[in-house]
Amino acid sequence: MEHACPDEALYVNARSITMEAVVSVQQDGSVSDSLTDGESSQINSDSSPSPAPLAQSGVTVFQLPGGQTVQVQGVIQAQPASVIQSPQQTGVEGDGDSAVDSQKRLEILSRRPSYRKILNELSSDSRSVPKIEEEKDEHVVASSSVATVTVPTSIYQTSSGQYFTISQGGALQLASGGAEALGGLQTLTLPSAGGPQAGATILQYAPQTTETSQFLLSGGQVLVQAATGDMPTYQIRSPASGLPQAVVMAASPGAMHSPPPHAEEVTRKREVRLMKNREAARECRRKKKEYVKCLENRVAVLENQNKTLIEELKALKDIYCHKAE
DNA sequence: ATCCTAGGACGTCATATTAT
DNA sequence: ATAATATGACGTCCTAGGAT
């Protein structure tokens, strides 16, 4: 899916291009479109540009042989090896900027990028990005055989060592088993088991094949984890399918070692925090990847535009050179 | 078949940033 | 001001691909 990159300006520098020229520069459709889109290009010119701040509004003035000028205001720094070169070529980068300004810009550019901001804007643009379930109130309910979920966001462990939590709204987070336990959490929402119905949801874990896992809900429904790829899928099925149900155990990992109540609380809080951070890190990586993809696309587009503009400029130069003769 | 290496994904910690 | 969240940095694991 392609996104505009609403916030990339901060990191790639804002882009803008204006082609104010005594000579009107006719764009072909595609370029014109993207130009109005706020794209930029930066072309080495054969006349001295106005002092160009590093990050903003470097204005390049092209003097055509007929005396007309074309101003190009661009910010993205072009490769030094621009196609158009001239004897009097001067760099577009201005050096007359105040040190304070450039320091400010450096500061801004060196700040951590907020992928959240970016994604928020992205999501407000189009579809809404599914929010990660918030976990507000947490308690651990330990039971010897059956987990009665009395409070959202409890941490449970099945007999096979798999951990899961249930948060408000019925979001169930599964974790593959193992000593490290909470790795590889998956979130899903149980429409029928949903809601913080105290004591209403009983989960039973029934290992089946190596590829599927099932949870028996108190309503008689069965939650089946299908064979997974990157994104596991789950189905809630009717109880009609006779399940080989396994032992059910649900207890907080901390409770299993029976630590003192206070230590248990601390452990539980830590687990919840780690779990949240794990999810956050995953989401952050996802956003970052999306953002980088976005930037790469942008680069491709801008490179194309740069090429086109350079060719146009060449053509115009040719035209006016011939006229001048 | 085994070893080595690069690259990707993950979890955790520390800390920057944002929300309340 | 404080809590919550997001992100950079680091270490670990896994996998694919190449060299031996």
- Name the percent of chain A lying above pLDDT 70: 20
Q: What pLDDT is attached to residue A111?
A: 57
Which residues, in sequence order, are CB contacts of A16 under 8 Å at separation 6+? Answer: A38, A40, A57, A73, A74, A75
Identify the residue with better confidence: A101 or A62.
A101
From the CB of residue A128, how many other CB atoms can be counted at a distance below 10 Å? 8
CA distance between the termini of chain A: 51
pLDDT above 60 for A176: no
Mean pLDDT throughout A214-237? 35
Q: How confident is the model at residue A314 (pLDDT cuts 50, 70, 90)?
A: very high
User: Distance in angstroms, CA of A33 to C1' of C3?
Assistant: 46
User: Distance in angstroms, CA of A78 to C1' of C1?
Assistant: 45
* Chain A 285-314 residues in 7 Å CB range of strand C: 287-288
Upper half-sphere CA count for residue A242 (Cβ side, 13 Å): 0
Residue where the block lists tokens 């809404």: A128
Q: What pLDDT is attached to residue A202?
A: 27
Q: What pLDDT is attached to residue A296?
A: 86
Strand C nucleotides with an atom less than 7 Å from a protein beta carbon: 5-9
Q: What pLDDT is attached to residue A310?
A: 97
Question: Which nt is closest to the CA of A279, judged by C1'?
Answer: B11
Say yes or no: Cβ of A280 under 7 A from any atom of strand C. yes
- How many whole angstroms from its chain centre is CA A64? 44
- Name the percent of chain A lying above pLDDT 90: 9
The rounded distance, in Å, linking the Cα atoms of A133 and A24 is 54
Question: Which nt is closest to the CA of A275, judged by C1'?
Answer: B11
User: Distance in angstroms, CA of A323 to C1' of C20?
Assistant: 68
H or E stretch at A99: helix A99-110
User: Distance in angstroms, CA of A264 to C1' of B11?
Assistant: 22
Of the segments A100-109, A156-165, A285-294, which one has the largest average pLDDT value? A285-294
Q: How confident is the model at residue A122 (pLDDT cuts 50, 70, 90)?
A: low
pLDDT above 50 for A211: no
Say yes or no: Cβ of A115 under 7 A from any atom of strand C. yes
From the CB of residue A315, how many other CB atoms can be counted at a distance below 10 Å? 10
DSSP three-state, residue A155: strand
H or E stretch at A222: strand A222-225
Q: In degrees rounded to 5, what are phi and psi of residue A306?
A: -60, -45
> Hey, what are A134's tokens?
């918030």
From the CB of residue A17, how many other CB atoms can be counted at a distance below 10 Å? 21
Which residues, in sequence order, are CB contacts of A201 under 8 Å at separation 6+? Answer: A148, A149, A166, A170, A190, A193, A217, A218
Say yes or no: Cβ of A114 under 7 A from any atom of strand C. yes
Residue where the block lists tokens 């790795």: A183
Radius of gyration of the CA atoms of chain A, in A: 30
* Chain A 154-193 residues in 7 Å CB range of strand C: none
- How many whole angstroms from its chain centre is CA A307? 30
User: Distance in angstroms, CA of A10 to C1' of B18?
Assistant: 17
Say yes or no: Cβ of A113 under 7 A from any atom of strand C. yes
Look over chain A and give the mean of its residue pLDDT values, rounded to a whole number: 47
- In 3D space, the residue among A72, A71, A65, A66 whose CA is nearest the CA of residue A86 turns out to be A65
Strand B nucleotides with an atom less than 7 Å from a protein beta carbon: 9-14, 16-18
Which residues, in sequence order, are CB contacts of A4 under 8 Å at separation 6+? Answer: A122, A125, A294
User: Distance in angstroms, CA of A271 to C1' of C3?
Assistant: 17
Identify the residue with better confidence: A49 or A84.
A84
User: Distance in angstroms, CA of A286 to C1' of C9?
Assistant: 17
Nucleic strand B interface residues, CB < 7 Å:
A 111-112, 114, 116-117, 180, 182-185, 274-275, 277-278, 281-282, 285, 289
Q: How confident is the model at residue A110 (pLDDT cuts 50, 70, 90)?
A: low
Question: Which nt is closest to the CA of A132, judged by C1'?
Answer: C5
User: Distance in angstroms, CA of A131 to C1' of C1?
Assistant: 27
User: Distance in angstroms, CA of A212 to C1' of B12?
Assistant: 29
Q: How confident is the model at residue A267 (pLDDT cuts 50, 70, 90)?
A: confident
pLDDT above 80 for A77: no
The rounded distance, in Å, linking the Cα atoms of A214 and A204 is 8
